[in-house]
């Protein structure tokens, strides 16, 4: 009698089939099989918050097949992903099988390789209820917050809104940053650079660092002019030269958060896209004659631990490719952050011998780019540090006589020092393979000529330059993920969902790749911070994550954690619900006069954004769409939507705006650039082309029939009549599915003819209460 192995996805099942042979049958649950119900709370708050789990719509047939297969099997191995969610899936499947518990086992593997899978089957365990309870606690918390707060937002702001426990705090970070930016007052300052020449080339620049033994602080042009005048005629001599050797160590191999950050910096991938591609690389892809193979270890991890076998394989490769001087005497050991799940490994290739170039012909463009990033980072992490020779020259400016300037001007400097730093790479080390991206500009260095202390330098010019202090930058996906992790908000496995959720709900938008809160987002965040300060408190949210970790390690009880949160939360909610009135942005006065009653018009806030209305309401009910003064921008609302389009005139991002004749593209650099164009020819769907990674856009034929094609046409010929959906095919791994509607059914289907995957869609009624996603 065969054994049964149950995994989450068909793609993983296909890969595992190669390793287990004829003694196993492999089935896929296709994710969760049970969850809280959609249309009711599903949590009994009067009975220790007992969750009411129901079979997910469409999963009845899957469970029936699993039950039949389990009944005919000698042993059942449950192998969903090795994390809390995977443990909960295994628990729910075990409950539904109703079989002899002695024959049901849990197995996990960090990578889908023959060695890892065989070892897991040899060492099965029972379901870990601490892991299950940690997942239950998070699910119940999020359900309580989502279902309880959403009706409040409907009443206080507008219908259809929703809130979540973690993404609301992420929204607060973005709103707080925007307030910092708006409150920022730019301050003027100046720098002074001396262009100097030694006995030998090259010419180099040195920056003024000290004035009269104090740090240079030049506030305005007049101060800069006094200093430049004072420096004219001064002799510039080399005061000191400091030479030292510096080492730069490689970054550790990727964990979930650092992979998302680096993919954002270097590849411009959204966190959601990064995780989707990583899932494909983990579960397995067709690699020529080898068949389906898992290419990376599990991608949801916060541990930088690496298996010794993988380190040895990397060392062997490095010695062969670069030489023995590129590997350290002992394999490096990286320290994970406190609370990391050390049972998991870092994200690395399952075999370094499967180089990026070797696999390139088997992978899509985006799969290759991400795999190459992971491969390079891991190899670099096992290499020696890079070594630099750094030279810092301090240069004094003095009078020819050597005496101080006795000018009566109180500000006129008596002595000035300049500093120049040059760095030369002495040994490339890990940098031969990889260097980590940065979020902010690094300190400038230059190439210095040979210099000696006491040497007199030729002054080619004194260059003053005006600067202004800059406000804190808006968050990119990389910097937001970095901040979320640093503050302990959410967990790496939830970051992609958090970032996509706050955009899907129109609480934030992206301008030139950075998060900006919408007016709606500011209103919602303001209401929640004012009425639920503890829920929106960053340290409170971090402590809740710690509590979930304690449930997982068995040191805390999940019902107590939920109760401690819910009792004060429910009390605060009841008080807020009693208070009358709505929360909305203030009206904006205008100089326009009402044509009906001659009173002034104001810009009001409504369900669909801003609009123009008479200030005499309710006596005068005159209202109209918000009309911009510019004829180029016609009638447009202040609500805009970011797009991936680029302005052909200035290169800035294009945004979608609403006008008298519907939506149109407009340059985000308005009024500096007034480029607009019609939307009728192409509308971005937000879905990436599976063939070349371009945007899939909505177009119309000459007869007005809608179709979808790649924005890179005619270079890419991808096109379909069906609306694309950014969802990975569970069967073949294709990066998109399409919606198909007939009189009999509404389904999601795979476009690949030889795949045949499809799933039934169900329309949700308007009465359904929105639930938080994280």
d(CA 579, CA 571): 13
Whether 308 contacts 332, CB under 8 Å: no
Q: What phi and psi, each to the nearest 5 degrees, are found at residue 39?
A: -100, 0
Spatial separation of the C-alpha atoms in residues 486 and 173, rounded to whole Å: 13
Q: Enter the tokens of residue 96.
A: 């539904």
Query: CA–CA separation, 58 vs 79, rounded Å?
Result: 21
- The DSSP symbol for 123 reads S
DSSP H/E element including 657: strand 653-659
Give the Cα-Cα-Cα angle 375, 381, 383 (nearest 5 degrees): 110
User: How many CA atoms are closer than 13 Å to the CA of 486, on its beta-carbon side?
Assistant: 8
Beta pairing partners, 749: 738, 758
Token couple for 432? 């031969």
Residue 623 three-state SS: strand
Instruction: Report cis status (omega within 30 of 0) of the bond before 202.
Output: yes
User: Looking at residue 447, what DSSP letter applies?
Assistant: P
CB under 8 Å to 104, separation ≥6 — which residues? 70, 75, 76, 78, 94, 97
Q: Map residue 326 onto helix, strand or coil.
A: helix
| Residues 346 and 304 sit within 8 Å (Cβ to Cβ) | yes
- Rounded to the nearest 5°, which phi and psi values hold at 56? -65, 140
Report residue 19 CA to chain centroid gap.
35
- Backbone conformation region of residue 662, classed left if phi is above 0, alpha if psi is from -120 to 50, else beta: left
Structure tokens at 213: 């033994």
Triad 106, 73, 77: Cα angle to 5°: 10
Question: How far is the C-alpha of 306 from the C-alpha of 340, rounded, in Å?
Answer: 13
Q: Structure tokens of 218?
A: 């030049």
**Token representation of residue 455:** 């040497």
CB 375 within 8 A of CB 192: no
Two tokens, residue 768: 């359904």
Instruction: Look at the block and give the residue holding tokens 């918050």.
Output: 49
Walk across the sheet containing 683-688 and list its strands.
683-688, 695-700, 706-710, 719-720
Phi and psi at 285, nearest 5°, equal: -135, 155
Find all residues with CB under 8 Å of 136, minimum gap 6, and list them. Answer: 51, 88, 558
DSSP state of 534: T
18 near 296, Cβ under 8 Å? no
Write out 330-354 in H/E/C secondary structure.
CCCCCCCCCCCCCCCCCECECCCCC
Q: Rg of the chain over CA atoms, in angstroms?
A: 31
The helix/strand/coil state of 195 is strand
- Is residue 541 within 8 A of residue 533, CB to CB? The reply is no
Total residues belonging to the chain: 774
Contact 278, 297 (CB under 8 A): no
CA–CA dist 347, 260 (Å, integer): 12
Which residues does the annotation mark as catalytic? 298
DSSP letter for 285, please. Answer: E
Q: How far apart are CA 262 and CA 318, in angstroms?
A: 23
Largest CA distance in the chain: 102
């Amino acid at each position: 009698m065969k054994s049964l192995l149950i995994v989450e996805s068909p793609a993983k099942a296909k890969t595992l089939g190669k390793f287990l042979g004829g003694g196993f049958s492999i089935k896929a649950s296709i994710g969760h099989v049970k969850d809280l119900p959609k249309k009711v709370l599903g949590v009994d708050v009067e009975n220790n918050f007992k969750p009411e789990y129901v079979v997910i719509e469409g999963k009845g047939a899957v469970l029936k097949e699993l039950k039949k297969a389990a009944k005919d099997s000698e042993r059942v191995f449950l192998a969903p992903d090795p994390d809390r969610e995977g443990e909960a899936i295994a628990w729910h499947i075990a409950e539904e099988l109703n079989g002899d518990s002695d024959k049901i086992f849990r197995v996990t593997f960090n990578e889908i390789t023959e060695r890892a899978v065989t070892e897991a089957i040899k060492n099965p365990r029972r379901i870990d209820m601490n892991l299950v309870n940690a997942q239950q606690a998070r699910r119940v918390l999020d359900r309580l917050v989502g279902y309880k707060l959403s009706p409040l937002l409907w009443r206080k702001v507008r219908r259809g809104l929703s809130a979540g426990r973690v993404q609301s705090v992420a929204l607060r970070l973005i709103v707080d940053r925007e307030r910092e930016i708006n409150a920022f007052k730019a301050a003027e300052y100046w720098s002074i650079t001396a262009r100097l020449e030694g006995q030998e080339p090259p010419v180099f620049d040195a920056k003024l660092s000290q004035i009269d033994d104090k740090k240079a602080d030049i506030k305005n042009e007049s101060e800069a002019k006094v200093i430049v005048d004072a420096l004219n005629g001064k002799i510039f001599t080399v005061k000191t030269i400091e030479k030292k050797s510096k080492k730069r160590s490689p970054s550790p191999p990727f964990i979930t958060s650092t992979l998302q950050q680096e993919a954002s910096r270097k590849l411009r991938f959204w966190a959601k896209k990064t995780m989707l591609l990583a899932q494909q690389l983990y579960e397995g892809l067709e690699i020529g004659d080898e068949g389906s193979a898992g290419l990376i270890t599990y991608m949801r991890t916060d541990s930088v631990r690496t298996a010794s076998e993988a380190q040895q394989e990397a060392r062997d490769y490095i010695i062969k490719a670069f030489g023995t001087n590129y590997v350290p005497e002992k394999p490096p050991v990286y320290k994970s952050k406190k609370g990391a799940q050390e049972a998991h490994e870092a994200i690395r290739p399952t075999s370094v011998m499967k180089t990026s170039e070797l696999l390139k012909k088997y992978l899509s463009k985006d799969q290759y780019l991400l795999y190459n990033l992971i491969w390079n980072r891991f190899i670099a992490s096992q290499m020696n540090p890079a070594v630099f020779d750094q030279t810092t020259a301090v240069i004094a400016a003095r009078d020819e006589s050597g005496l101080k300037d006795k000018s009566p001007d109180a500000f006129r400097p008596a002595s000035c020092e300049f500093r120049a730093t040059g760095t030369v790479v002495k040994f490339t080390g890990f940098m031969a393979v990889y260097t980590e991206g940065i979020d902010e500009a690094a300190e400038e260095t230059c190439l210095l000529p040979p210099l000696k202390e006491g040497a007199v330098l030729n002054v080619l010019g004194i260059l003053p330059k005006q600067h202004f202090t800059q406000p804190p930058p808006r968050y990119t996906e990389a910097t937001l993920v970095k901040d979320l992790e640093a503050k302990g908000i959410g967990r790496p496995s939830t970051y992609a969902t958090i970032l996509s959720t706050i955009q899907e709900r129109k609480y934030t938008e992206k301008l030139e790749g950075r998060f900006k809160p919408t007016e709606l987002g500011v209103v919602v965040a303001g209401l929640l911070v004012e009425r639920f300060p503890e829920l929106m408190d960053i340290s409170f949210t971090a402590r809740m994550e710690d509590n979930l970790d304690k449930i997982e390690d068995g040191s805390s009880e999940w019902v107590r954690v939920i109760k401690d949160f819910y009792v004060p939360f429910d009390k605060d909610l009841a008080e807020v619900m009693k208070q009358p009135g709505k929360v909305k942005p203030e009206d904006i006065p205008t100089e326009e006069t009402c044509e009906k009653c001659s009173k002034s018009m104001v810009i009001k806030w409504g369900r669909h954004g801003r609009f123009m209305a008479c200030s005499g309401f309710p006596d005068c009910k005159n209202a109209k769409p918000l009309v911009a003064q510019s004829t180029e921008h016609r009638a447009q609302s202040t609500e805009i939507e970011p797009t991936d389009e680029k302005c052909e005139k200035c290169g800035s991002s294009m945004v979608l705006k609403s006008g008298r004749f519907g939506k149109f593209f407009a340059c985000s650099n308005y009024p500096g650039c007034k480029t607009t164009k019609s939307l009728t020819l192409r509308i971005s769907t937000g879905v990436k082309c599976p063939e070349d990674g371009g945007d899939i856009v909505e177009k119309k034929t000459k007869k007005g029939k809608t179709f979808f094609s790649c924005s890179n046409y005619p270079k890419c010929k991808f096109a379909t009549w069906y609306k694309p959906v950014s969802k990975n095919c569970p069967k073949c791994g294709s990066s998109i599915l399409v919606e198909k509607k007939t009189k009999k059914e509404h389904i999601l289907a795979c476009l690949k003819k030889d795949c045949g995957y499809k799933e039934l869609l169900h329309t949700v009624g308007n009465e359904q209460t929105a639930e938080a996603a994280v």
